[in-house]
């Protein structure tokens, strides 16, 4: 119903729709194709001054049909912030199928290192180009991705040690 | 106290930053930024480096936190932080509990400033559900946030002194004093909410507890005492030669590094960037108040301490401005809630951020979850301490173990919100 | 009475009294620091918590003395008693009264400096034998600090020796009784020598602000990390003992020892020692600690040159005084 807090400045909306062919979403930030992702980040950082790294949030949307090929998709929301007075947040989404990967923005924002590791740890989305993609919160040998919708909290995958 | 220019990797003369160990020949010290991906096997084929685990059980890692240090003598060559010892799966829990049930859970994230957690959470929910907050509640929230900021910074100050001086020494004296002052604020909170620490005083649409009679006078007296004693504490520590030697030039986080890592709050302001969400993206009643933001230029531990002490003073000023002029009116815009499933949302996304004592504490919520929409679908806490901790692999190399403890203290991580 | 018997009796009495006083100095420290921190301190055992050291001692005695499997057994067990022995040995030449000392050595000051420098060794042994990285770091820092700070200590202790013309502590005290306390007369060298003696001896005794070897916030418990039970108790005791002896030596060297009107000498000596002891506690509970390289910097860049200068000044003074007396 609302995209509150995530509404963006007009120039960024224009940038997203015109240059990066983003699709506006009714209840979320605009959807951008994964191949435009890094260029978008670079443009926002260098030309528009969104220099403070905000967030990387992945969420798992399981398949609604019972197709064998449809494993569901994962949406990743990114956020960047401008500096100083009248700070604005720019955010956009990427959507990939479960098992696919998304380009990593570590080269552009060093903060993406840990944030992407955490999303990999909890949701299981891989980030291509990440130098050290391992688990952050959970022990290294944990199996399963807890924040997926098909990860029940009391499964055997999570033994109590 | 200026930030030195980083020399290029190929230059012949190596600039050792001020106050670094005089025998430092760590290659990462050349560029003044450590390399988190340094290949130890290649750097040190004879395995001469000593691996020291600072934590998870350690008197001064501010919670359960493991810092694996590769030491050349006493100098740190590579620092690898490991967090996750306090991971409690809050984000998964949020998908099971309803909006109404979530507020008390969130006290425990940043367990040192619970008001901020609650406020960012209810702000995000109010955005998502389209709920208005009456003016009185917004003022009260601002007031509570500023009081909480004072309490949190006092705790940090005491803990930082302990990191520098030890639990059996001068640090613990300052720790006791700061806690004694903090008790005044906790008493004030107990008067208001019934709880000293994890309050559960915010609800979607307003606040739960209204101001009792005589509360304003108590707040005034608490603030006056704290302001007087703050002068003593500053003279205790900030002009002490030993303290200055330990913190000046130590742990410099420059502005570019801070912004790239997403570090906000006192660390970013100590690096010279004038960025404070209270003034730049006003929420609650901050648009009616003028928040004066302090910045420093050095970016070292001393600058961060100065900024936090200045923030205490600024919060004292704001509390004084607000305490006598809270507008009358209702405290909540909803009727009292009788059921956990009272608030529902089918879809939508919202993000709300507050300026916590550590930086930008944001809650991202996606509606339309379980319990027929009464739970979020996905809730993510953008915790400032996690971003702040990620600066350690860049900042620590080139320093010694004593500096590592001082830097960790001045970065002020709260493991509850790092690990969630 | 045979001089050997006399020495034996005095030694036994002094050792017993010292150990007892040290145990109660722990109580004193806890009460004192508690008052400084607006707390109360021990109040539970005995009136005003006076039985707290007894209870602490009993508790430590009944705990198991754990020796880590990969630790060097002999050295590990050797270190704590060695610290206590060396600290107690220093007490042999301290003049508690005109006739109350275990041994009136001609080279008293040298003996104290020698034993004081030896106290670094058991600390390092403890650090090495624990087979623990934190202890190792603590031990290494202790060696660096201990060796460095012997020099300002020796230089500061040389000033009373030069001014009095003798290394025997009894002679130094007697000289002060006749010519005025060294801390105040001659104005200058004595006072500054005291100001150097105090930090240097704090560094030897590993007290804050020089307690890098057991820096609790960095190295867990530093050198004493692996010690439990009475081993820890002995190391802890030795630290307080060393501090107590240092205050006694400082009051003998700089503040006239047993000099004072009305009361017998022993009382004055004890009073001065306790005043300095309390001063050392006040310093401990007010200051944060140095980093080890800053510590070394202070020693080698400031204390040593100025110490040398002080020795020179006091030597010149003595010559002038002799020339003036002729």
Cβ pair A27:B348 closer than 8 A: yes
Q: Which of C104, C96, C110, C305 is closest to C196 using CA atoms?
A: C305
pLDDT at C218 over 70: no
The per-residue pLDDT for B249 is 81
pLDDT at A26 over 80: no
Among C37, C216, C218, whose Cβ lies nearest the Cβ of B176? C37
Q: Could you tell me if residue A153 is inside a domain? A: no
- The whole-angstrom distance between B113's CA and the closest CA on chain A is 21
Mean local confidence (pLDDT), B6-11: 32
Least confident of B6-20, B85-99, B236-250, C108-122: B6-20
- The whole-angstrom distance between B280's CA and the closest CA on chain A is 5
* φ/ψ of residue B386, rounded to 5: -65, -40
The answer to whether B33 faces chain A, any CB pair under 8 Å, is no
pLDDT at C251 over 60: yes
pLDDT at B151 over 90: yes
Chain C CB contacts of B74 under 8 Å are 137, 292
The answer to whether C219 faces chain B, any CB pair under 8 Å, is yes
Q: Could you tell me if residue C24 is inside a domain? A: no
d(CA B268, CA A6): 23
Cβ pair A2:B353 closer than 8 A: no
Chain B CB contacts of C298 under 8 Å are none
The per-residue pLDDT for B312 is 92
Closest chain A residue to B276 measured between Cα atoms?
A84
Among A111, A118, A153, whose Cβ lies nearest the Cβ of B262? A111
Chain B CB contacts of C290 under 8 Å are 242, 245-246
What would the DSSP string read from start to end of A107-143?
A: TT-TTHHHHHHHHHHHH--EEET-TT---SSS-TT--
d(CA A144, CA A9): 38
pLDDT > 70: percent of chain A: 80
Q: Give the global pTM.
A: 0.87
- Interface with chain A: mutation pick from B126, B276, B343, B349, highest number of A CBs within 10 Å: B349
Chain C CB contacts of B246 under 8 Å are 288, 290-291, 294
Least confident of A8-17, B75-84, B127-136, C131-140: A8-17
- Which chains would you list as touching B if contact means 3+ CB atom pairs under 8 Å? A, C
pLDDT at C213 over 90: no
> Complex ipTM, two decimals?
0.86
Q: Could you tell me if residue A29 is inside a domain? A: yes
Domain that holds residue A27: 10-128
The per-residue pLDDT for B10 is 31
Chain B CB contacts of A153 under 8 Å are 89, 92, 96
Chain B CB contacts of A132 under 8 Å are 36-37
The per-residue pLDDT for A161 is 42
Contacts of the segment B36-43: beta carbons below 8 A, 24+ positions apart:
B36/A113, B36/A132, B36/B78, B36/B80, B36/B393, B36/B394, B37/A131, B37/A132, B38/B77, B38/B78, B38/B397, B40/B70, B40/B77, B40/B78, B43/B77, B43/B78
pLDDT tens digits for range B292-343? 888 888 888 888 999 999 999 999 999 998 888 888 888 888 777 777 777 7
- Interface with chain B: mutation pick from A3, A49, A59, highest number of B CBs within 10 Å: A59
How far is residue B105 from each of residues B36, B155, C101, measured CA to CA in Å? 34, 22, 68
Chain C CB contacts of B183 under 8 Å are none
pLDDT at B76 over 60: yes
The per-residue pLDDT for B373 is 79
The per-residue pLDDT for B142 is 92
Among A5, A26, A137, whose Cβ lies nearest the Cβ of B127? A5
Buried b or exposed e, range B172-195, using 16+ CB within 10 angstroms:
bbbbbbbbbbbebbbebbeebbeb
Domain that holds residue C188: 69-325
The per-residue pLDDT for B7 is 30
pLDDT at B146 over 90: yes
pLDDT > 70: percent of chain C: 96
Closest chain A residue to B83 measured between Cα atoms?
A137
Least confident of A128-142, B33-47, C19-33: B33-47
The per-residue pLDDT for C217 is 53
Per-domain residue ranges for chain B? 90-419
Cβ pair C292:B162 closer than 8 A: no
The per-residue pLDDT for C219 is 60
Cβ pair C217:B172 closer than 8 A: no
Contacts of B106 (CB under 8 A, 6+ apart): B90, B114, B117, B118, B121
Write out the two tokens for A140: 């290294």
Q: Could you tell me if residue C74 is inside a domain? A: yes
- Is residue C133 within 8 Å of residue B71, measured between CB atoms? no
Contacts of C208 (CB under 8 A, 6+ apart): B165, B166, B168, B169, B170, C202, C283, C284, C285, C287, C288, C289
What's the domain count of chain A? 1
Q: Could you tell me if residue A20 is inside a domain? A: yes
d(CA C36, CA C41): 10
Q: Could you tell me if residue C2 is inside a domain? A: no
Closest chain B residue to A134 measured between Cα atoms?
B82
The per-residue pLDDT for A154 is 61
CA atoms within 13 A of residue B312's CA, in its CB half-sphere: 28
Mean local confidence (pLDDT), C126-136: 84
Q: Could you tell me if residue A76 is inside a domain? A: yes
Q: Which residues pair with A73 in a beta bridge?
A: A61, A97
- Looking at per-residue pLDDT, the higher value among C113 and A70 belongs to C113
pLDDT tens digits for range C151-176? 988 998 888 888 888 888 888 888 88
Mean pLDDT of chain A: 80
Q: Which residues pair with B366 in a beta bridge?
A: B349, B378
- Interface with chain C: mutation pick from B402, B407, B409, highest number of C CBs within 10 Å: B402
d(CA B228, CA B232): 7
Write out the two tokens for A137: 């919160």
Q: Could you tell me if residue A2 is inside a domain? A: no
Pair type for strands A101-103 and A126-128: parallel
Q: Which residues pair with C249 in a beta bridge?
A: none
Q: Could you tell me if residue C40 is inside a domain? A: no
Mean pLDDT of chain B: 83
- Which chains would you list as touching A if contact means 3+ CB atom pairs under 8 Å? B
Q: How confident is the model at residue A159 (pLDDT cuts 50, 70, 90)?
A: very low
Q: CATH code at A87?
A: 3.30.460.80
pLDDT > 90: percent of chain B: 19
Mean pLDDT of chain C: 84
Q: Could you tell me if residue A123 is inside a domain? A: yes
d(CA B359, CA C323): 72
Mean local confidence (pLDDT), B49-75: 80
Mean local confidence (pLDDT), B126-145: 89
The per-residue pLDDT for C9 is 86
- Interface with chain A: mutation pick from B262, B368, B391, highest number of A CBs within 10 Å: B262
The answer to whether B395 faces chain A, any CB pair under 8 Å, is no
* Widest distance between CA atoms in chain C: 70
Among A1, A55, A91, whose Cβ lies nearest the Cβ of B130? A1
Classify B75 as helix, strand or coil: strand
Chain B CB contacts of C284 under 8 Å are 168-170
- Is residue B52 within 8 Å of residue B366, measured between CB atoms? no
- Which chains would you list as touching C if contact means 3+ CB atom pairs under 8 Å? B
pLDDT at A3 over 70: no
- Is residue B407 within 8 Å of residue B28, measured between CB atoms? no
d(CA B120, CA B114): 10
Chains A and C share 3 or more Cβ pairs within 8 Å: no
Q: Could you tell me if residue A141 is inside a domain? A: no
The answer to whether C43 faces chain B, any CB pair under 8 Å, is no
For chain B positions 325-364, those within 8 Å of chain A (CB to CB) are 345-353, 360, 362, 364
Q: Could you tell me if residue A26 is inside a domain? A: yes
pLDDT tens digits for range B357-375? 999 999 998 888 777 778 8
The number of angstroms, rounded, from the C-alpha of B226 to the middle of its chain's C-alpha atoms is 20
What would the DSSP string read from start to end of C43-96?
A: -SSSGGGTTHHHHHHHHHHTS-----TTS-HHHHHHHHHHHHHHHHHHGGG--S
Cβ pair B387:A81 closer than 8 A: no
The answer to whether B30 faces chain C, any CB pair under 8 Å, is no
Among C137, C215, C288, whose Cβ lies nearest the Cβ of B170? C288
May I ask the CATH architecture of the domain B90-419?
Orthogonal Bundle (1.10)
The number of angstroms, rounded, from the C-alpha of C310 to the middle of its chain's C-alpha atoms is 22
pLDDT at B21 over 60: no
CA atoms within 13 A of residue C280's CA, in its CB half-sphere: 35
Chain A CB contacts of B277 under 8 Å are 87
Among C212, C217, C294, whose Cβ lies nearest the Cβ of B167? C217
């Amino acid at each position: 119903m609302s995209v509150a807090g995530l509404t963006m400045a007009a120039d960024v909306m224009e940038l997203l729709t015109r240059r990066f062919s983003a699709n506006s979403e009714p209840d979320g930030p605009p959807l951008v194709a994964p191949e435009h992702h890094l260029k978008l980040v670079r443009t926002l950082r260098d030309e528009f001054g969104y220099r403070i790294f905000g967030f990387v949030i992945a969420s798992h949307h399981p398949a609604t049909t019972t197709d064998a090929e449809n494993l569901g998709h994962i949406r990743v929301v990114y956020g960047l912030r401008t500096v100083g007075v009248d700070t604005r947040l720019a955010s956009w989404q990427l959507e990939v199928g479960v098992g696919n990967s998304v380009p990593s923005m570590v080269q552009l924002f060093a903060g993406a290192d840990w944030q992407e590791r955490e999303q990999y740890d909890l949701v299981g989305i891989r980030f291509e180009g990440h130098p050290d993609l391992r688990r952050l919160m959970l022990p290294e040998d944990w199996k399963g991705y807890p924040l997926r919708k098909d990860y029940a909290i009391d499964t055997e995958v999570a033994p109590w040690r | 106290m200026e930030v030195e220019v980083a020399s290029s990797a190929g230059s012949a003369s190596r600039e050792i930053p001020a106050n670094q160990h005089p025998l430092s020949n760590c290659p990462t010290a050349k560029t003044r930024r450590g390399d988190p991906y340094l290949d130890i096997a290649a750097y040190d084929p004879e395995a001469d480096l000593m691996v020291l685990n600072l934590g998870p059980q350690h008197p001064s890692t501010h919670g359960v936190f493991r810092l694996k240090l590769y030491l050349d003598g006493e100098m740190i060559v590579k620092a690898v932080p490991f967090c996750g010892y306090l991971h409690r799966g809050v984000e998964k829990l949020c998908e099971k509990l309803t909006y109404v049930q979530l507020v008390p859970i969130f006290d425990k994230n940043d367990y040192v400033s619970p008001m901020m957690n609650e406020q960012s959470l209810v702000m995000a929910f109010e955005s998502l559900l389209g709920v208005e907050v009456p003016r009185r509640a917004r003022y009260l929230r601002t007031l509570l946030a500023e009081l909480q900021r004072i309490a949190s910074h006092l705790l940090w100050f005491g803990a930082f002194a302990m990191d520098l001086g030890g639990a059996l020494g001068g640090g613990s004296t300052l720790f006791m004093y700061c806690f004694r002052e903090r008790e005044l604020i906790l008493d004030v909170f107990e008067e208001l909410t019934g709880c000293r620490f994890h309050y559960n005083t915010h609800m979607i649409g307003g606040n739960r507890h209204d101001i009792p009679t005589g509360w304003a006078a108590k707040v005034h007296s608490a603030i006056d005492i704290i302001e007087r004693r703050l002068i003593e504490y500053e003279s205790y520590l900030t002009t002490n030669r030993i303290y200055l030697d330990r913190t000046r030039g130590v742990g410099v986080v420059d502005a570019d590094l801070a912004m790239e890592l997403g570090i906000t709050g006192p660390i970013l302001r100590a690096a010279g960037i004038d960025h404070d969400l209270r003034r730049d993206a006003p929420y609650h009643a901050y648009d009616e108040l003028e928040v004066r933001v302090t910045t420093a230029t050095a970016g070292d531990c001393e600058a961060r301490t100065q900024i936090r002490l200045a923030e205490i003073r600024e919060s004292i000023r704001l509390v004084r401005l607000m305490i006598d002029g809270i507008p009358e009116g209702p405290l909540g815009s909803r009727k009292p809630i009788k059921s956990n499933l009272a608030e529902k949302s089918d879809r939508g996304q919202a993000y709300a951020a507050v300026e916590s004592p550590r930086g930008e504490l944001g809650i991202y919520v996606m509606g339309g979850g379980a319990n027929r929409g009464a739970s979020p679908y996905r809730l993510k806490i953008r915790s400032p301490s996690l971003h702040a901790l990620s600066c350690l692999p860049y900042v620590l190399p080139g320093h010694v173990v004593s500096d590592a403890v001082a830097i960790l203290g001045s970065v002020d991580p709260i493991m509850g919100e790092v690990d969630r | 009475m045979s001089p050997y018997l006399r020495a034996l009796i005095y030694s036994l009495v002094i050792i017993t009294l010292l150990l007892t006083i040290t145990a109660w100095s722990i109580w004193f420290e806890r009460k004192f620091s508690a008052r400084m921190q607006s707390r109360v301190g021990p109040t539970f055992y005995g009136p005003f918590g006076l039985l707290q050291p007894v209870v602490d001692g009993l508790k430590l005695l009944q705990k198991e003395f754990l020796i880590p499997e990969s630790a060097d057994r002999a050295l590990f067990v050797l270190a704590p008693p060695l610290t206590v022995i060396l600290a107690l040995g220093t007490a042999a030449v301290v003049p508690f009264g005109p006739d109350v000392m275990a041994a009136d050595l001609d080279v008293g000051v040298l003996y104290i400096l020698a034993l004081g420098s030896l106290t670094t060794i058991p600390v390092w042994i403890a650090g090495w034998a624990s087979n623990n990285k934190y202890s190792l770091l603590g031990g290494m820092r202790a060696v660096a600090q201990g060796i460095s700070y012997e020099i300002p200590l020796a230089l500061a202790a040389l000033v009373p020796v030069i001014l009095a013309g003798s290394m025997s502590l009894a002679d130094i005290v007697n000289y002060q009784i006749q010519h005025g306390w060294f801390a105040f007369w001659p104005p200058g060298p004595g006072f500054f020598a005291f100001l150097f003696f105090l930090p240097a001896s704090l560094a030897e005794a590993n007290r804050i602000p020089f307690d890098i070897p057991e820096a609790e916030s960095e190295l867990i418990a530093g050198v004493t990390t692996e010690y439990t039970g009475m081993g820890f108790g002995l190391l802890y005791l030795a630290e307080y003992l060393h501090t107590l002896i240092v205050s006694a030596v400082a009051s003998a060297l700089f503040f006239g020892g047993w000099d004072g009107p009305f009361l017998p000498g022993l009382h004055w000596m004890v009073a001065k020692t306790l005043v300095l002891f309390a001063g050392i506690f006040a310093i401990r509970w007010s200051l944060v600690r140095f980093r080890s390289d800053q510590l070394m910097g202070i020693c080698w860049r400031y204390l040593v040159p100025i110490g040398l200068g002080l020795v020179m000044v006091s030597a010149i003074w003595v010559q002038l005084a002799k020339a003036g007396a002729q």
